């Protein structure tokens, strides 16, 4: 029986490989629809947490995990020899960039090689990891065929880009339309059936390559527009114009304008990375993606601009950056989540420390910095306590992320100088000259 057949008769088992910010919502989505799910991960701590009914992602309530585990619909394992038990294999592993801004598919390839010996007939493999067009076919077709399977007959392959936006209260999980592209029409049919079991709307595309390009276009659109507004911020600052006021006025236009907002740089698992996947692949076709690369340069340069503004503000106080005590407010890459993947705050850390600043951070969502791929030197750093003595002990507070849990009225009362990259202090009563926007 195909996965579609088993989904229709209620006997299907779903396997999700990678139980992070993408994989965990996915396993819960299936389990909450009364579909049996096995979550696979090499991180035994995540496996143990799920089997104990605990959530390890802040914006995902623990009751969701507890309820599905108690109902017997969700279990987790680090034993990949259990792959034959599942009918649908959904791969949600990281696709970072290497130090040369080139795609790093090592996690995808390692996962593929791990599951290959255990594949059986009538399974569906769905790759969700963001990547360049052609990856699904190039990385999976040959190895699957070498196992003796016939694509579209006794085995099925699709690509379906993840669209999670951690902490977004309006759009999340299975309420977000799901794009699916199949290697062939029969593969697409199986993929649509699998995702239709939990998603309100499934959007089929003609190939895996189209689906891969959809994801890149979505994130390149954001990266380019953020690059534009970041550049406009620098221009506006030089002209003595508040770019935030400009954006608020511009977005009253009911057509032809979409508001994007400046910041200290790009963060998250997609927008700082995905454009470079297309840039790298485009070179194979002799295409130079100048627009994408220019936006990337601007966005990557924003931490340098922010630190320069910090230095200028301290100079007005006749204090050098070297030796000044700087508190960075917010480590997560976006507001109200505990997700610090690719956070521009890490770059701010590097630049500030490189110029001799004595650095602290406060983030109500991240009490301690856990190991990261790129910034292991910060592992174990602890968020300082939020009180007047701790905050006022610093020469300057730099707002990198605007968390709603932070009491900005207290910040205004306690901090001698504030450099604000998020317009967080706009509606807060502050002293004359206390706040500098950056």
* Residues taking part in catalysis: 270
| CA–CA distance, 195 with 212 (Å, rounded to integer) | 16
Question: For the purposes of burial, counting CB atoms within 10 Å of the CB of 316, is it exposed (0-12), middle (13-18) or buried (19 or more)?
Answer: exposed
| CA–CA distance, 110 with 129 (Å, rounded to integer) | 13
CB-CB neighbours of 56 under 10 Å: 17
Contact 158, 128 (CB under 8 A): no
Question: For the purposes of burial, counting CB atoms within 10 Å of the CB of 384, is it exposed (0-12), middle (13-18) or buried (19 or more)?
Answer: middle
| CA–CA distance, 17 with 78 (Å, rounded to integer) | 10
Q: Which residue has the tokens 């998603």?
A: 199
Q: 362 forms bridges with which residues in the sheet?
A: 329
Alpha helix segments (H runs only) across 317-373? 344-354
Could you give the 3-state DSSP secondary structure of residue 275? helix
| CA–CA distance, 327 with 265 (Å, rounded to integer) | 18
Contact 23, 76 (CB under 8 A): no
DSSP string, 176-204: S-EEEEESSHHHHHHHHHHHHTT-S-EEE
Task: Return the sign of the alpha-carbon dihedral for residues 317, 323, 324, 329.
Answer: positive
Q: Measured at the alpha carbon of residue 194, what is the angle toward residues 122 and 20, in degrees to the nearest 5? A: 105
What's the Cα-to-Cα distance from 57 to each of 54, 342, 357, 410, rounded to whole Å?
9, 17, 32, 28
| CA–CA distance, 332 with 117 (Å, rounded to integer) | 39
């Amino acid at each position: 029986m195909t996965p579609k057949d088993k989904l229709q008769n209620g006997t299907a088992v779903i396997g999700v490989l990678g139980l992070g910010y993408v994989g965990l919502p996915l396993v819960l989505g299936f389990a909450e629809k009364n579909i049996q799910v096995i979550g696979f991960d090499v991180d035994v701590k995540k496996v143990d947490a799920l089997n104990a009914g605990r959530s390890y992602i802040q914006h995902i309530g623990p009751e969701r995990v507890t309820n599905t585990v108690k109902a017997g619909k969700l279990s987790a394992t680090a034993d990949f020899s259990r792959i034959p038990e599942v009918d649908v294999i959904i791969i949600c592993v990281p696709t970072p960039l290497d130090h040369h801004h080139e795609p790093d598919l090592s996690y995808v390839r390692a996962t593929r090689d791990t599951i290959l010996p255990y594949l059986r007939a009538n399974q569906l493999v769905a790759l969700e990891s963001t990547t360049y067009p052609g990856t699904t076919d190039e990385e999976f077709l040959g190895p699957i065929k070498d196992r003796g399977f016939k694509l579209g007959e006794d085995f099925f392959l699709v690509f379906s880009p993840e669209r999670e936006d951690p902490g977004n209260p309006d759009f999340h999980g299975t309420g977000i339309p799901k794009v699916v592209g199949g290697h062939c029409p029969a593969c697409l049919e199986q993929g649509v059936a699998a995702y239709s079991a939990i998603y309100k709307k499934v959007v089929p595309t003609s190939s895996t390559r189209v689906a891969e390009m959809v994801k890149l276009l979505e994130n390149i659109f954001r990266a380019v527009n953020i690059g534009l507004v970041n550049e406009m911020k620098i221009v506006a600052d030089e002209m003595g114009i508040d770019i935030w006021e400009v954006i608020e006025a511009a977005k009253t236009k009911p057509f032809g304008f979409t508001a994007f907002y400046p910041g200290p740089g790009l963060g998250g698992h997609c927008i700082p990375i995905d454009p470079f996947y297309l840039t790298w692949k485009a070179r194979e076709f002799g295409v130079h993606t100048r627009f994408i690369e220019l936006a990337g340069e601007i966005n990557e340069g924003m931490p340098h601009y922010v630190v320069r503004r910090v230095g200028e503000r301290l100079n007005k106080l006749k204090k050098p950056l070297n030796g000044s005590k700087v508190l960075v407010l917010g480590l997560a890459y976006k507001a109200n989540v505990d997700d610090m993947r690719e956070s521009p705050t890490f770059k701010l850390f590097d630049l500030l420390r490189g110029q001799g600043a004595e650095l602290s951070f406060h983030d109500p969502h991240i009490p301690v910095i856990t190991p990261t791929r790129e910034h292991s030197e910060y592992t174990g750093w602890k968020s300082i306590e939020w009180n007047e003595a701790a905050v006022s002990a610093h020469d300057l507070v730099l707002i990198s992320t605007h968390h709603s849990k932070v009491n900005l009225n207290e910040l205004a009362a306690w901090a001698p100088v504030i450099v604000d990259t998020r317009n967080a202090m706009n509606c807060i009563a502050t002293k004359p000259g206390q706040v500098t926007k950056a």
